[in-house]
A = this chain, B = another copy of it.
């Protein structure tokens, strides 16, 4: 009875948190124990001092993985919504967490910039945020995600169904 780690990776404003919350609700309805580990919340709770350098992002990922493991081995499924922009970060998570399901939350950059949920793209474009993923920092596209969803084309409901279908297999 090991919980699954479901990692939602994607650009800022791609729809990770929205998908995570809807997926969590759907899993709970089905009686699955689930916890959402959201990148922003994790920074607030266990990484206030961390910035956005590659090292600090990696440390943030390590902390998420540590907490996820504690939950997974006690039968709790985790939904981790974190950009995790480098392939090596996702490979680390994949190596550490079993079972691990990587969901690439895909949305074209222009659309993400338009959404700009937290107003951060606007700042980054003005040069006010030095290492902002998609603008002033790299996002390496996932090469072998278990699932890819396209949030600019399909609805939250259909994306969640797609993930649930995969999990049921």
Q: Are A33 and B74 in contact (CB under 8 A)?
A: yes
Q: Are B63 and A46 in contact (CB under 8 A)?
A: yes
- Per-residue CB contact flags for chain A residues 12-40 toward chain B (1 = under 8 Å, else 0) read 00000000000000000000010100000
A67 to B67, CA, bound (A): 7
A65 to B62, CA, bound (A): 19
Q: Are B49 and A66 in contact (CB under 8 A)?
A: no
- Per-residue CB contact flags for chain A residues 73-85 toward chain B (1 = under 8 Å, else 0) read 0111000000000
- Apart from the given pairs A33-B75, A74-B76, 13 other A-B contacts in the complex at a CB distance below 8 Å: A33-B74, A35-B70, A35-B74, A45-B63, A45-B66, A46-B66, A46-B67, A48-B59, A70-B70, A70-B71, A71-B71, A71-B74, A74-B74
